[in-house]
Homo-oligomer: A and B are copies of this chain.
Amino acid sequence: MNKTYEQLLPYMEKSYALNTALTLLSWDEETLAPREGMEFTSKAIGTLSNELFSTLMNPELKKLLKKLSEEKEQSSLSECEKAVVKNLKKSFDELEPIPQKDYRLYSELIAKASSIWASAKAKSCFEEFAPTLKESVEYNKKFAKLRAKDGQEPYDVLLNTYEEGFTMEKLDEFFGKIKSAVVPLLQKVKAKNDCIDKSYNFRHYEIDRQREFCRYLAGYEGFDFNRGVMAESEHPFTTNLHNHDVRITSHFYENNLESGIFSVIHEAGHAMYEMNVSDELTLTPAGGGSSMGMHESQSRFFENIIGRSADFWLPIYGRLQETFPEQLSDVPLSRFIQGINKAEPSLIRTEADELTYPLHIIIRYEIERMLFHDEITVDELPRVWNQKYKDYLGVEPSNDAEGVLQDVHWSGGSFGYFPSYAIGSAIAAQIYAYMKKVMPFDDYLREGNLTPIREFLRLHIHQYGSSKNTTKLLQGMMNEDLNADYYVDYLTEKYTRLYGLEN
């Protein structure tokens, strides 16, 4: 092993251990921790975050990373080691401009924010969350300005954190293309919606049975319970300590069958990405998924492209019917498939169909952008949110819980994250187009054999962790760059077919 690289190991080990502790503390807060505990526990989180900061900002580490980035040293590193150096340097560069004291206070704030958000959401009261959100936005503005390079806009700094190379300029083009396809398509679809009756979805579905079916479903999809855990939280999410300990949450509603099912398929998609990272990478700074866009491509590939297809449900719909005989025996598979794909403007992003989904993302993108350009204040968020929903989707939230408070992201300080979902959907469509060419994709689904599909994704994407970025992964797989046309074509083709529209 390269001698300089060897000197990195203790830093990596320590930052991995501290990250593990912080990840578990955060998982615990979302899933289990008692309501009144966080005030004190956040102090420990502040101390551990501070310790992580000190570990990464060690001047010795800075020297090592600089040296290892030079060509001479690079030539003696393995591919995996190069990726580790690159990612560690990225973390270093992101953290270096931030004052240590601010980082600690911000970490403590975020540790407490999620339970404040959850409580505010339960009461549907934005005002209760606003002070925390204001603080978080101020920290993020400050950090983004400090991290900005060469006159970079602060919001571009945030976007780049989740998807390397993405800027408002690129996203404007990307979203413009999608909007110009989706809006007219949605008009045609809405005109035909009366013939789809999905009232079955809002019957009463016992939570226990949903839980049981969704455990089966996650396993069917490929989630390995020997290396993973399923729990429940206000907002579904995936996290992991390493590739042998991957955790997903779901949230079940008594009067909405789809919500639980598709959040489980979605999160299990994320989970398989992490489970399939190679052992060589897992405990290193290159051990997680590549970008958030790439991560969302995997979750949304399973949720939508696979999970909303008739082929996927063919072998298992009977089991769902058996789980809920009273609710579903009069709903044949064909009607269920129409129901889970019915495109209609709605209030909740996580429950949106594939066609209206990107509009939910565009709304959040535009709002965050205004917020970070000081064009609106935190207090104005509910009003702006509701107005945008009216403008883009023609629906209006009747309260904050189904409006501006619906998503967990802002409570976690994840500003600039939302576009990852749309980028992910686009990548998923592009991968799907390619996979259909190289394997009997639909046959596999109909046979209930997801192994070759998973194995393909493991081989071309998952195993590499974050040692390759989105561009490299797509190039490696199909010799192409990200191209949003596939997504537009996919949506157009799918909805034209489903709704029997004229081409």
- Which B residue sits closest to A242, measured CB to CB? B40
Most buried by B among A13, A17, A20: A17
A231 to B25, CA, bound (A): 17
List B contacts of A226 (CB < 8 A). Answer: 34-36
Q: Which one of B21, B33, B39, B51 contacts A44 once the chains associate, using CB atoms below 8 Å? A: B21
Q: Which chain A residues in 211-243 approach chain B with CB under 8 Å?
A: 225-229, 231, 241-243
**B229 A47 Cβ-Cβ under 8 A:** no
A165 to B16, CA, bound (A): 40
Q: Mark A26-41, 1 if CB is under 8 A from B, else 0.
A: 0010001111110111
Q: Which chain A residues in 3-60 approach chain B with CB under 8 Å?
A: 13-14, 16-18, 20-21, 24-25, 28, 32-37, 39-41, 43-45, 47-48, 51
- Chain A count of residues within 8 A CB distance of the other chain: 39
**A114 at the B interface (CB under 8 A):** no
**B244 A17 Cβ-Cβ under 8 A:** no
**A51 B17 Cβ-Cβ under 8 A:** yes
A18 to B51, CA, bound (A): 10
- Given known A21-B21, A24-B21, A44-B20, contact A37–B283 (CB-CB < 8 A): no
A210 to B32, CA, bound (A): 20
**A282 at the B interface (CB under 8 A):** yes
A447 to B229, CA, bound (A): 43
List B contacts of A283 (CB < 8 A). Answer: 40, 43
Most buried by B among A35, A37, A45, A229: A37
- Which B residue sits closest to A10, measured CB to CB? B47
List B contacts of A16 (CB < 8 A). Answer: 43-44, 47
A245 to B229, CA, bound (A): 22
List B contacts of A47 (CB < 8 A). Answer: 13-14, 16-17
A34 to B40, CA, bound (A): 28
List B contacts of A25 (CB < 8 A). Answer: 20-21, 24
List B contacts of A17 (CB < 8 A). Answer: 43-45, 47-48, 51
List B contacts of A34 (CB < 8 A). Answer: 225-229, 244-246
- Which B residue sits closest to A20, measured CB to CB? B44
Distance in angstroms from A145 CB to nearest chain B CB is 29
- Given known A25-B24, A36-B226, A226-B34, contact A242–B14 (CB-CB < 8 A): no
A37 to B33, CA, bound (A): 21
**B229 A41 Cβ-Cβ under 8 A:** no
**A36 B244 Cβ-Cβ under 8 A:** yes
Q: Mark A51-75, 1 if CB is under 8 A from B, else 0.
A: 1000000000000000000000000
List B contacts of A44 (CB < 8 A). Answer: 16-17, 20-21, 241
Q: Mark A255-285, 1 if CB is under 8 A from B, else 0.
A: 0000000000000000000000000001100
List B contacts of A14 (CB < 8 A). Answer: 47, 51
List B contacts of A40 (CB < 8 A). Answer: 241-245, 282-283
**B24 A241 Cβ-Cβ under 8 A:** no
A40 to B243, CA, bound (A): 9
Most buried by B among A36, A225, A226, A227: A36
List B contacts of A245 (CB < 8 A). Answer: 33-34, 37, 40-41
A51 to B18, CA, bound (A): 10
The 8 closest A-B pairs by CB, nearest first: A37-B245, A21-B21, A17-B47, A20-B44, A17-B44, A40-B242, A37-B244, A36-B226
Name 10 extra pairs, CB < 8 A, besides A20-B25, A41-B241.
A13-B43, A13-B47, A17-B44, A17-B51, A24-B28, A34-B225, A34-B227, A34-B246, A36-B227, A40-B241
Can you name 18 A-B residue pairings with CB atoms under 8 Å?
Answer: A13-B47, A16-B44, A18-B48, A20-B25, A20-B44, A21-B25, A21-B44, A21-B48, A34-B226, A34-B229, A35-B226, A36-B244, A40-B241, A40-B245, A40-B283, A41-B242, A41-B245, A44-B241
